[in-house]
């Protein structure tokens, strides 16, 4: 009995300690955000919050158009979430509930592109954006992403698992129009899945680095990750201010995660678990 | 046929009454349109570009077919092989430990954590959903040579009796010296994805029926035997899936090394992955054709290794 108790205790200890190590970088990000550059590289380094937050913020807003980049990131993330939700709920519903020509082939094609590494289309995507005149345009970031294969997959899974075909048939018999069925029956039932997909899309867009790196070429149009990276220089990086910016950029994600970690984790691993 | 009154006629138009046969096409139209333009077309176009050369300054009009020239140029390029070596090294050193830690971790969490389970899983999973830039910036300060927290912690540990010998007591130049860049990058990548894999294995563990363990206990199997003969074989499909994901992700590693080395690849290009080299070939050296060829060569590596993993898992399944 006592042997199993010690093994249980050591399990708690090791897993707990590992968890703290996982969280430590976040803790130091927030601690360093409130210290000047000089204080961060002190001996010993600061372990508790300091008082230089506003000083850092001043440096940050002087060096980069921080609030503009934050606003741009928010705009792109919201637009991308809205478009993805509309297009993927429609597409997922179509794939789950209707029979049409080439349905299987089309679905296989869409899923296939999910497996293909994204770097393959980086250069042509840039050239398309260039040809469309979308370089430095926020729409270059939220319109292409709205055709999300993952979103279609998630929605199709959810529709076929949770919405009975009979319910739609009944609505049709009662004279509900097809668009009415989608808007008044399918959409409300899809709410939980839309919540998950919305969260995932928002976070992915908020964190997106390669996308804006390729299409956003002038510093005035940098999204938050690009703007933060532009502060990095080989000789004279304002680490305190950079940590302040990183902390502000991370905070919304921490809040979202705190309220929806279970839903997020389930959503991000659906593909794997369903297989 | 009944003649509808005018008012219902208008209503029908307002309702856009489609027949069930038309509905899927209308629903799918926006998605398909975007998918063709931004999903499928770039892929085909990329393959086309790999066989072309042109002056970026004078536009696409100067484009001409050059056969395999771009591929040959890449295959004779020292930096390509160096980047490929870096990529494989990083994929292995950051990928393998993810699974070696995630499997036992998932088993322990599955067995011992009930009420605090979500919080613990959340802590391990959190790095996966945070911005690579924020993470890389954070680690850049932690890895800083003179007063970085990691070096200070190491020098503290090196003063301990006995185990201290194992740790360097001099400050390590993590992101500056060629030999240290890759381990630093691998650490960040490991930290970022280990929680994701743990969640995968936790999901798989839940599907193993309890009676298997009960029967094994009755037969006198100890914990280690249960792990070896019940848990591990049952986890195999998920290990295959997780390893494949790590492989595909690891071979296209871009963001972490790009930000940690400030876009340069680091001293002696020792932190430059192939995906990063492709980006630089395109946007620094303005050679889109060669960059496209490079991306297809990298894709071949990914496909080949994915296929080999598949074979390895299948053959071992047959013999066991």
Please determine, for residue B271, whether its predicted confidence score (pLDDT) is greater than 70.
yes
Q: Assess contact for B297 and B74: CB atoms under 8 A.
A: yes
Q: What is the CATH number of the domain that holds B252?
A: 1.10.3720.10
The answer to whether residue B163 is domain-embedded is: no
The DSSP 8-state label assigned to residue B144 in this structure reads -
Give tens-digit pLDDT for A230-266. Answer: 888 777 788 889 999 999 999 999 999 988 888 888 8
pLDDT tens track for A87-132: 999 999 999 988 888 889 999 988 888 878 888 989 999 999 998 9
Query: What average pLDDT does this structure show over B19-35?
Result: 86
The pLDDT tens digits for B46-68 are 999 999 888 766 667 778 888 88
User: B125 to chain A: which residues are within 8 Å by CB?
Assistant: 261, 265
d(CA B237, CA B240): 5
Quote the CA–CA distance of B280 and B290 in Å, as a whole number: 11
Which residue of A12, A152, A226 is in closest CB contact with B31?
A: A152
Cα–Cα distance list, A104 to A101, B27, B222, B274 (Å): 8, 16, 48, 35
Please report how many Cα atoms fall inside a 13 Å half-sphere around the Cα of residue B185, on the Cβ side: 33
Please answer yes or no on whether A225 and B191 come within 8 Å at the CB atom.
no
Asked, for residue B111, whether it belongs to a domain, the answer is yes
Confidence of residue B11 (pLDDT cuts 50, 70, 90): low
Helix (H) or strand (E) holding B52: strand B52-53
Q: Which of residues 14-53 of B touch A (CB under 8 A)?
A: 15-25, 27-28, 30-32, 34-35, 37-43, 45-46, 49
Residue B95 belongs to some domain of the structure: yes
Which candidate from B20, B126, B203 shows the least CB-CB separation from A269?
A: B203
Identify whether the C-beta of residue B90 lies closer than 8 Å to the C-beta of residue B192: no
Q: Report how many domains make up chain B.
A: 1
Say if B217 falls within a structural domain.
Answer: yes
The reported pLDDT for the residue numbered B116 is 85
pLDDT band at B9 (very low <50, low <70, confident <90, very high): low
Residue of chain A whose Cα is closest to the Cα of B156:
A44
pLDDT tens across B225-248, in order? 989 999 999 999 899 999 998 999
- A229-244 exposure pattern, b = at least 16 Cβ within 10 A, e = fewer: bebbeeeebbbbbbbb
Torsion angle of the four alpha carbons B166, B167, B169, B175, in this order, in degrees rounded to the nearest 10: 140
Tell me the pLDDT band of A275, cut-offs 50, 70 and 90.
very low
How much is the pLDDT for B143?
82
Model confidence band, residue B1 (pLDDT cutoffs 50, 70, 90):
very low
How far off is chain B from A45, nearest CA to CA, in Å? 7
By the 8 A CB rule, do B206 and B113 touch? no
pLDDT of residue B164: 64
Mean pLDDT in chain B? 85
Does residue B229 fall inside a structural domain? yes
pLDDT of residue B168: 67
> In Å, how far from its chain's centre is CA A235?
32
**Three-class SS of B157-192:** HHCCCCHHHHCCCCCCCCCCCHHHHHHHHHHHHHHH
> Cβ B34–A45 below 8 Å, yes or no?
no
3-state SS class at B304 = helix
Which backbone phi and psi does B53 adopt, to 5 degrees?
-140, 150
Q: Is B196 among the domain residues?
A: yes
CA distance B129 to A253: 8
pLDDT digits (tens, 9 = 90+) for B291-315: 999 999 999 999 999 999 989 888 7
Phi/psi at A177 (5° precision): -70, 160
From A143, A110, A151, select the one nearest A215 (Cα to Cα). A143
Model pLDDT, residue B166: 65
d(CA A89, CA A91): 6
Helices (H), chain B: 6-15, 23-34, 41-49, 69-75, 78-112, 117-125, 132-142, 149-158, 178-205, 210-218, 223-226, 232-251, 255-260, 274-283, 288-319
Which of these ranges, A45-59, A86-100, B193-207, has the smallest mean pLDDT? A45-59
Distance between CA atoms of A208 and A198, rounded to whole angstroms? 15
Residues of chain A with C-beta less than 8 angstroms from the C-beta of B299? 116-117, 120
pTM of the predicted structure, to 2 decimals: 0.89
**Per-residue pLDDT, B319:** 40
Above pLDDT 70, what percent of chain B? 87
For B282, nearest residue in chain A (alpha carbons): A123
Is A147 close to B134, i.e. CB distance below 8 A?
no
Q: What pLDDT, in 10s, does the model give residues B80-91?
A: 999 999 999 999
CA–CA dist A62, A65 (Å, integer)? 7
Cα nearest neighbour of A261 on chain B? B122
ipTM reported for the complex, 2 dp: 0.89
Inter-chain residue contact B37 with A28, CB threshold 8 Å: no
| pLDDT at site B107 | 92
- Domains within chain A, CATH numbers bracketed: 64-230 (1.10.3720.10)
Asked if pLDDT for residue B162 goes beyond 80, the answer is: no
Q: Rounded to whole angstroms, how far apart are CA atoms B167 and B157?
A: 7
Long-range contacts of residues A72-75, Cβ cutoff 8 Å, at least 24 apart: A72/A138, A72/A221, A72/A222, A72/A223, A72/A224, A73/A205, A73/A206, A73/A223, A73/A224, A73/A225, A73/A249, A75/A138
Predicted pLDDT at A11: 85
More confident residue, A19 or A3: A19
- Determine what percent of chain B is predicted with pLDDT higher than 90: 42
Please give the mean pLDDT across all residues of chain A.
88
Q: What is the pLDDT of residue B314?
A: 81
Specify the pLDDT at position B194.
Answer: 94
Stretch B22-33: mean pLDDT, rounded?
Answer: 88
**Residue A166 backbone phi and psi in degrees, to 5:** -60, -35
Cβ proximity of B185 and B191 under 8 Å: no
Whether the per-residue pLDDT at B7 is higher than 60: the answer is no
Phi, psi of B52 (to 5 degrees): -120, 160
pLDDT at A198 exceeding the cut of 80: yes
What pLDDT shows up at residue B318? 45
pLDDT confidence of residue A272: 60
Query: Euclidean distance between the first and final Cα of chain A, in Å?
Result: 39
Size of interface A-B (CB pairs under 8 A): 271
Q: Residue A106: list chain B partners with CB under 8 A.
A: 32
Identify the pLDDT of residue B84: 94
Digit-coded pLDDT (tens) for B93-145: 999 999 999 999 999 999 888 888 888 999 999 999 999 999 888 888 888 76
Q: Is the peptide bond before A44 cis (omega within 30 degrees of 0)?
A: yes
Residue B212 lies in a domain: yes
The reported pLDDT for the residue numbered A138 is 93
Residue B196: which residues within 8 A CB-CB, separation 6 or more? A268, A269, B125, B128
> Over the stretch A140-168, which tens digit does the pLDDT of each residue have?
999 998 888 889 999 998 998 888 888 88
The more confidently predicted of residues B167 and B262 is B262
> Roughly what angle, to the nearest 10 degrees, separates helices B78-112 and A2-32?
130
Residue range(s) defining the domain that contains residue B133: 69-142+181-315
B48: in domain: no
**pLDDT value for B195:** 93
**Least confidently predicted of A42-56, A100-114, A178-192, A220-234:** A42-56
| Residues A176, A154: Cα–Cα separation, whole Å | 26
What pLDDT was estimated at residue B55? 73
């Amino acid at each position: 009995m006592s042997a199993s108790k010690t093994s249980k205790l050591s399990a708690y200890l090791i897993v707990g300690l590992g968890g703290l190590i996982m969280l430590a970088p976040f803790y130091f990000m927030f601690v360093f955000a409130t210290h000047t550059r000089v204080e961060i590289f002190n001996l010993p380094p600061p372990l508790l919050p300091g008082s230089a937050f506003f000083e850092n913020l001043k440096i940050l807003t002087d060096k980069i158009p921080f609030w503009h980049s934050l606003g741009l990131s928010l705009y792109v993330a919201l637009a991308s979430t809205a478009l993805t939700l509309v297009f993927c709920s429609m597409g997922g519903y179509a794939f789950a509930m209707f029979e049409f020509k080439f349905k299987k082939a089309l679905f296989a094609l869409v899923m296939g592109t999910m497996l293909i590494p994204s770097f393959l289309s980086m250069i042509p995507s840039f050239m398309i954006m260039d040809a469309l005149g979308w370089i430095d345009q926020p729409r270059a970031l939220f319109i292409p992403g709205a055709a999300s294969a993952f979103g279609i997959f998630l929605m199709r899974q959810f529709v076929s698992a949770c919405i009975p075909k009979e319910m739609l048939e009944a609505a049709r018999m009662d004279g509900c129009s097809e668009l009415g069925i989608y808007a008044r029956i399918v959409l409300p039932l899809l709410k939980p899945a839309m919540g998950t997909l919305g969260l995932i899309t928002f976070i992915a867009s908020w964190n997106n680095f390669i996308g804006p790196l390729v299409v956003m070429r002038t510093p005035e149009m940098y999204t938050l990750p690009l703007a933060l990276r532009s502060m990095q220089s080989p000789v004279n990086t304002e680490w305190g201010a950079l940590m302040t910016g990183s902390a502000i950029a991370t905070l919304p994600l921490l809040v979202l995660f705190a309220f929806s970690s279970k839903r997020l984790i389930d959503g991000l691993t659906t593909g794997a678990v369903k297989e | 046929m009944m003649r509808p009154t005018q008012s219902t006629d208008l209503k029908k138009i307002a309702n856009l009454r489609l027949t069930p046969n038309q509905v899927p096409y209308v629903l799918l139209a926006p998605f398909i349109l975007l998918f063709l333009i931004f999903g499928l077309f770039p892929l085909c176009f990329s393959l086309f570009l790999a066989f072309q050369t042109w002056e970026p300054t004078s536009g696409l009009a100067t484009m001409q077919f050059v056969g395999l020239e771009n591929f040959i140029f890449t295959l004779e390029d020292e930096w390509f092989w160096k980047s490929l070596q870096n990529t494989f090294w990083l994929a292995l050193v950051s990928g393998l430990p993810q699974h070696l830690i995630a499997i036992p971790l998932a088993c322990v969490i599955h067995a011992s954590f009930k009420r605090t389970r979500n919080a613990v899983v959340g802590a391990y999973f959190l790095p996966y959903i945070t911005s690579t830039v924020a993470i890389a910036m954070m680690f850049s300060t932690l890895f800083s040579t003179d007063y970085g927290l990691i070096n200070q912690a190491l020098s503290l540990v090196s003063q301990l009796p006995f185990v201290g010998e194992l740790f360097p007591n001099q400050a390590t130049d993590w992101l500056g010296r060629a030999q240290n860049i890759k381990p630093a990058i691998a650490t960040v990548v490991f930290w970022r994805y280990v929680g994701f894999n743990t969640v995968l294995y936790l999901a798989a563990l839940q599907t193993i029926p309890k009676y298997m363990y009960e029967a094994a206990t009755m037969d006198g199997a100890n914990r280690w035997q249960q792990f070896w003969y019940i848990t591990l074989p049952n986890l195999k499909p998920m290990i295959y899936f997780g390893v494949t994901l790590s492989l595909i992700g690891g071979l296209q590693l871009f963001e972490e090394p790009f930000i940690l080395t400030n876009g340069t690849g680091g001293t002696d290009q020792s932190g430059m992955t192939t995906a990063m080299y492709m980006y630089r070939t395109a946007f620094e050296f303005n050679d889109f054709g060669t960059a496209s060829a490079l991306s297809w060569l990298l894709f071949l590596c990914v496909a080949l290794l994915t296929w080999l993993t598949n074979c390895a898992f299948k053959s071992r399944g047959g013999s066991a």
